[in-house]
Chains A and B, each alone.
Chain A
Amino acid sequence: MPRPPAAAPPALEVHGLRKTYDARSAPVRALRGVDLVVGTGEFVALTGPSGSGKSTLLHLVAGLETADEGTIALAGTTLDGLSSARLARMRRRHIGLVFQFFNLIDHMTALENVALPALVAGASPAAATERARELLDRLGLLDKSGELPATLSGGQRQRVAIARALVNRPTLLLADEPTGALDSAGTADVLDVLARINAAGQTILVVTHSAEVAAAAGRRVQLRDGRIVDEEAEALTAAGPA
């Protein structure tokens, strides 16, 4: 995958992000001013205890929710004030999402699941199918392309979900506890895939509780009570936090 020129903006740039949920008893302040920059090609692990705001940050970045305050820019394009339709188009172009419980569509084959985002983005059926086959092949699942998700193992399903997330060549791959529902073999599978695609230049932001996953990332960012409290950059750091 070709790298963008050095002057290209970071894959993700977040400033002063705040989000509060209206709960029945009292408001829950999920994010209390988060600043984060993820450079192109980085593999960042977002860690922290339950309720620290990790998943909220991920969903805000994906444009599935909107922040109360702060800015989010994907590849230099800000998400502020975009309509839901524009956000959806931004998502097609810049975001690939991987969930803990795979969230594949049960009634569609692996190939159809992977090709779906490309079809939604307007690719021709032939191009979408070719790209989906190529990804399934790269992830070792080409022989399973006609199978339904229920017939695949957990690791295989998550690899299909990763292929689906990659089909539109997103700027940023967001993964929410991608190994949370997998056994050790499945976890190893998925970590191997993430490492391989990162090595190929894919920017990854992964939310995890798992030390094993965090260890695989080039940079670890810890959230606590809605704030970034600790950062540890390792070998693959391309750009540090502001």
Chain B
Amino acid sequence: MTAPDAFGWPAVRAVARAERRRGRGLLLIAFLAGIVGAVVAGSVVLAERTATAYPRLVEAAGLDDARVLVPADQAGLAEAVPRLPGVEQAWTTSSWVARMARPALTYVTLGAGADRPGDLVRPVVVTGRAPQAVDEVLVSEPVAERYGIAIGDELRLELLTLPQIARFDVGFGTPDGPAVTLRVVGVGRMPAWDGALSHLWASEEFARTYAGTASAYAIFVRTAGPAGAQRFAEAYSAAAAAAPRSIAARYMPAGVQLPTSELDPTVQAAEVAIVLGLAAFALVVAAAGGFVVSQGLLRHHAAGRSAQQIEHALGMTMTERVTARVLTAAPAALLVLALTLAGGIAAGALAPLGSQARFEPTPGFRVAWPVLGIVGPVIALLFLGGVAVAAAVARHTGSRVPPVRRPFPMAWARRWPALLVGIRMALGARPAVLTVAGSAAAIAGVVAAAVFGASLERVVTDPARFGEIADFSVADARLIDIERLAADPRTTAVTVIRSSTVQLTGGRTVPAVVAFSYKGPVEVTVTSGRLPIRLGEIAIGPRIAAAEGVRIGDTISVDRPGGGVDSLTVTGIVVPPRADTRFRLGDGVVLAGEQAALVTSGPALFSAEVTTLPGEREELMGELSTRLEIEPRLVPAEIRVLADLRSLPEALAAALGVLVLAAVVYELTAARRRYARELGVLAAVGETLGQVHATLAVIALVSVGPALAIGVPLGIGVARVLWWQVATASGVGAELAVPAVVPAVVPLVLLVALVAAVGPLVRGTGVVRALRTS
């Protein structure tokens, strides 16, 4: 016989057997919980894959800690590098500059090396394979995309000699190095292609065959941590200073590049937006799904409260009653677990979102099993916890606690009984603050996603917003070419851009541009204000405006190369054209010519920005590309990153929008059920069906109106903050674009609320039933 204070397992088992007869309803709720779990687990798996793509690529590609490019006429310096302080491993490779005719004349870098130590600098091959034969080459993804290069293509490369590189700005005729034809066998992926790491990577055989013709040594170094990298940088600078000066020192400065394992800030901003968006999506789905599932569990167990009352009367404790029901729910929890895991596994087929897909080192199926191993059981346990709570409170459910706090006076509303009753009912029943806050947050999410998405869309689809006003530009443009272009009837605008650098006082060196119009308007994107036209004026890029905290009308100080400081008034925010792609979009200033003469330094590069008549662009470019270096209108990397984000806010807004509408429909349908008695009373005291409808409409408006009034401006505010961060990190203007859907949110939500509230009404026997069962 069981002692009276012992846990009553026999009774628990008996109750669990009895509860199993009601198991179908529980399985239905578990199915719903499993679907929610699947969406949440899928979002978590996708977020993990997205957030870890870059660090996984860094590891997979064996990213170096430091790299130097040593001109070929400094062989002694190159030989000394592996022995410099801080170096743990070094790999000396050969590097060439090659002229490639694809489609117009262009210059690319080619690298190759033998005897690679370990996995140091091994681009991840995303398609094809690594080069093995002397005539095979691997192409970087950016170059393959830019020039439309595919596996199997043959590239005709004419290699430049070091003296030719030294004469790059004044012209050097035909390349004097070997001409090679390389077959593309693979496309490679690396965290950082720039600097010493060439975009074309040939085989070890090629390195051995052509080593003597290389124009430089690209040396990749593994150091003993950041301190080791610092020691190496100092030692290399000293060694380079002591080495004989190279003839190409102007184009191969003796600096150490430190490829960072951190994500580029531009990409990082996009990644943060993606991961936050996914997290918000998962949270909203979890909250909405959790609410619906908990309501289902409460109803399921409330329906069996009479059984619990009998069990209570027979002496079962709450723990025993709850245990019996948790045991009954175990198969349902397994269903939740299975569906959640299935959702997470299915999400393994999805590539990282947005620009992060470019960093995925293992394209194809991938699941973070440890993450899924935590998420799945947690969601199943939460389901069981919900069962336990619902079972614990079920015996006491079913009684409505009436309000006792005196309501605020509403004498003004007595003329309209529907208004009076509707407001009293909508505001009086529950802590309305929570409902309004939840609805406002969801509406804010929809609006923020829509506004962010529209602002993003406008930037990526309007080249003028990222500084690409002209149809094409001519690099290293000479005066005679510029004058010919200006005289050409097919052009409508020709702007010459003189690019150099300027030193911000107490800050960094940034690109400085002077724009001269030879024909038509000046081709520089002005996002606000105007271009500088005289001494003492400056227009700045969004990145500098954000970094320096200055706005139009403020002053900014720049150093004169010969000493002294000029204080310049900011006349506008602009997106300067990028003559030098080492600098990021929006990271520069525009000066008037006479001011530039006083404060700029370094060699000046000239390019011509050309706009043509409609339909003339291709023909003119074709003509010019045979003798000039033509750059077609390019989408900068920052904008490509943003473009990769385009579908995310739209999907997020759509998903949140559906959830908001579903929540509104659910809440107001539930309110109609909850107020069935009051509606019956209204009918009993003589309200017509129309007046009852009006009361319900007031309930709907009072329930949804405040959420809209708070949610819409809050959403615009959130979008403003998020967009400012992303736009500034990307170097474009941060003006918001408010899409037409935002003003439409208010009437749409109100309409749905009204339809949901004024649904099938209690009438006839329904009124009587509602009044009898109250």
User: Does B370 count as interface, using CB distance less than 8 angstroms?
Assistant: no
- Given A117-B685, A120-B691: A106 in contact with B767 (beta carbons within 8 A): no
User: Does B417 count as interface, using CB distance less than 8 angstroms?
Assistant: yes
Docked pose: A205 CA to B682 CA in angstroms: 21
User: Does B722 count as interface, using CB distance less than 8 angstroms?
Assistant: no
> By the criterion CB–CB under 8 Å, are A84 and B689 in contact?
yes
- Given A84-B763, A89-B686, A103-B680: A150 in contact with B414 (beta carbons within 8 A): no
User: Does A232 count as interface, using CB distance less than 8 angstroms?
Assistant: no
Docked pose: A107 CA to B408 CA in angstroms: 10
From residue 632 to 688 of chain B, which have CB atoms closer than 8 A to chain A? 677-678, 680-688
Supply 17 further A-B pairs (C-beta < 8 A) apart from A21-B765, A107-B429: A64-B764, A64-B768, A66-B764, A88-B686, A89-B686, A91-B685, A91-B686, A105-B425, A106-B402, A106-B403, A106-B678, A120-B682, A125-B414, A129-B414, A148-B403, A148-B405, A148-B406
Chain B interface: which of A3-11, A108-116, A218-226? Answer: A108-116
> By the criterion CB–CB under 8 Å, are A107 and B428 in contact?
yes
User: Does B398 count as interface, using CB distance less than 8 angstroms?
Assistant: no
Docked pose: A85 CA to B683 CA in angstroms: 10
- Given A65-B764, A85-B688, A103-B771: A147 in contact with B414 (beta carbons within 8 A): no
From residue 703 to 729 of chain B, which have CB atoms closer than 8 A to chain A? none
- Given A84-B763, A108-B421, A148-B403: A62 in contact with B684 (beta carbons within 8 A): yes
From residue 74 to 108 of chain A, which have CB atoms closer than 8 A to chain B? 84-85, 88-89, 91-92, 95, 97, 99, 101, 103-108
Docked pose: A59 CA to B684 CA in angstroms: 10
User: Does A164 count as interface, using CB distance less than 8 angstroms?
Assistant: yes
> Residues on A close to B: CB < 8 A?
21, 55, 59, 62, 64-66, 84-85, 88-89, 91-92, 95, 97, 99, 101, 103-109, 112, 115-117, 119-121, 124-125, 128-129, 146-151, 164, 168
Q: Residue A99 contacts which of B403, B686, B765, B771 (CB distance < 8 angstroms)?
A: B771
Q: Residue B421 contacts which of A64, A91, A105 (CB distance < 8 angstroms)?
A: A105
> By the criterion CB–CB under 8 Å, are A84 and B688 in contact?
yes
Closest to A149 in B: B402
Docked pose: A238 CA to B201 CA in angstroms: 113
- Given A84-B763, A105-B678, A107-B407: A121 in contact with B686 (beta carbons within 8 A): yes
CB-CB contacts of B391-416 with A at 8 A, as 1s and 0s? 00000000000111111000100110
Q: Give the distance to chain B from A160, nearest Cβ to Cβ, in Å.
A: 12
Docked pose: A197 CA to B414 CA in angstroms: 27
Closest to B675 in A: A105
User: Does B424 count as interface, using CB distance less than 8 angstroms?
Assistant: yes
> By the criterion CB–CB under 8 Å, are A97 and B685 in contact?
yes
Q: Which residues of B contact A106 (CB under 8 A)?
A: 402-403, 428, 678
Q: Which residues of A contact B404 (CB under 8 A)?
A: 148, 150-151
> By the criterion CB–CB under 8 Å, are B681 and A119 in contact?
no
Q: Which residues of B contact A151 (CB under 8 A)?
A: 404
> By the criterion CB–CB under 8 Å, are B681 and A103 in contact?
yes
Docked pose: A177 CA to B339 CA in angstroms: 53
> Residues on B close to A: CB < 8 A?
402-407, 411, 414-415, 417, 420-421, 424-425, 427-429, 677-678, 680-691, 763-765, 767-768, 771-772, 774
Instruction: Pick 15 A–B contacts, CB within 8 A, sort by A.
Output: A21-B765, A85-B688, A88-B687, A89-B688, A103-B681, A103-B684, A105-B424, A106-B428, A107-B428, A112-B424, A120-B685, A121-B686, A146-B406, A148-B402, A148-B405
Docked pose: A148 CA to B407 CA in angstroms: 8
Q: Residue B424 contacts which of A85, A88, A107, A147 (CB distance < 8 angstroms)?
A: A107
> By the criterion CB–CB under 8 Å, are A119 and B428 in contact?
no
Closest to A102 in B: B774
Q: Which residues of A contact B688 (CB under 8 A)?
A: 84-85, 88-89
Docked pose: A84 CA to B763 CA in angstroms: 9
> By the criterion CB–CB under 8 Å, are A120 and B402 in contact?
no
Q: Which residues of B contact A62 (CB under 8 A)?
A: 684
10 tightest A-B contacts by CB?
A: A107-B428, A92-B686, A125-B414, A150-B402, A117-B685, A107-B424, A119-B417, A88-B688, A106-B402, A85-B688
Docked pose: A111 CA to B115 CA in angstroms: 95
Q: Which residues of B contact A148 (CB under 8 A)?
A: 402-407
Q: Which residues of A contact B678 (CB under 8 A)?
A: 105-106
Q: Give the distance to chain B from A183, nearest Cβ to Cβ, in Å.
A: 19
Q: Which residues of A contact B685 (CB under 8 A)?
A: 91-92, 97, 116-117, 120, 164
Q: Residue A85 contacts which of B411, B414, B690 (CB distance < 8 angstroms)?
A: B690
Q: Which residues of B contact A129 (CB under 8 A)?
A: 414
Docked pose: A66 CA to B763 CA in angstroms: 11
- Given A64-B683, A84-B688: A115 in contact with B406 (beta carbons within 8 A): no
Q: Which residues of B contact A97 (CB under 8 A)?
A: 684-685
Closest to A129 in B: B414
Q: Which residues of A contact B677 (CB under 8 A)?
A: 103
Q: Residue B403 contacts which of A107, A112, A120, A146 (CB distance < 8 angstroms)?
A: A107
Q: Give the distance to chain B from A69, nearest Cβ to Cβ, in Å.
A: 17
> By the criterion CB–CB under 8 Å, are B774 and A65 in contact?
no
Q: Residue B767 contacts which of A55, A64, A104, A128 (CB distance < 8 angstroms)?
A: A64
Q: Which residues of B contact A112 (CB under 8 A)?
A: 414, 420, 424
Q: Which residues of A contact B681 (CB under 8 A)?
A: 103-105
> By the criterion CB–CB under 8 Å, are B680 and A65 in contact?
no
User: Which of A92, A147, A148: most chain B CB closer than 10 A?
Assistant: A148
Docked pose: A128 CA to B416 CA in angstroms: 12
Q: Give the distance to chain B from A120, nearest Cβ to Cβ, in Å.
A: 5
- Given A88-B683, A117-B686: A128 in contact with B406 (beta carbons within 8 A): no
Q: Give the distance to chain A from B422, nearest Cβ to Cβ, in Å.
A: 10
> By the criterion CB–CB under 8 Å, are B403 and A128 in contact?
no
> By the criterion CB–CB under 8 Å, are A116 and B684 in contact?
no
Docked pose: A108 CA to B404 CA in angstroms: 10
Q: Give the distance to chain A from B255, nearest Cβ to Cβ, in Å.
A: 74
User: Which of B684, B768, B772: most chain A CB closer than 10 A?
Assistant: B684
Q: Give the distance to chain A from B1, nearest Cβ to Cβ, in Å.
A: 44
Closest to A103 in B: B681
Docked pose: A134 CA to B407 CA in angstroms: 22
Docked pose: A119 CA to B681 CA in angstroms: 14
Q: Which residues of B contact A117 (CB under 8 A)?
A: 685-686
Q: Which residues of B contact A92 (CB under 8 A)?
A: 685-686
Closest to B418 in A: A120
> By the criterion CB–CB under 8 Å, are A109 and B764 in contact?
no
Q: Give the distance to chain A from B199, nearest Cβ to Cβ, in Å.
A: 72
Docked pose: A106 CA to B414 CA in angstroms: 17
Closest to A147 in B: B406
Closest to A98 in B: B684
User: Which of A104, A116, A151, A168: most chain B CB closer than 10 A?
Assistant: A116
Q: Give the distance to chain A from B490, nearest Cβ to Cβ, in Å.
A: 76
- Given A64-B684, A108-B424: A115 in contact with B414 (beta carbons within 8 A): yes
Docked pose: A124 CA to B411 CA in angstroms: 12
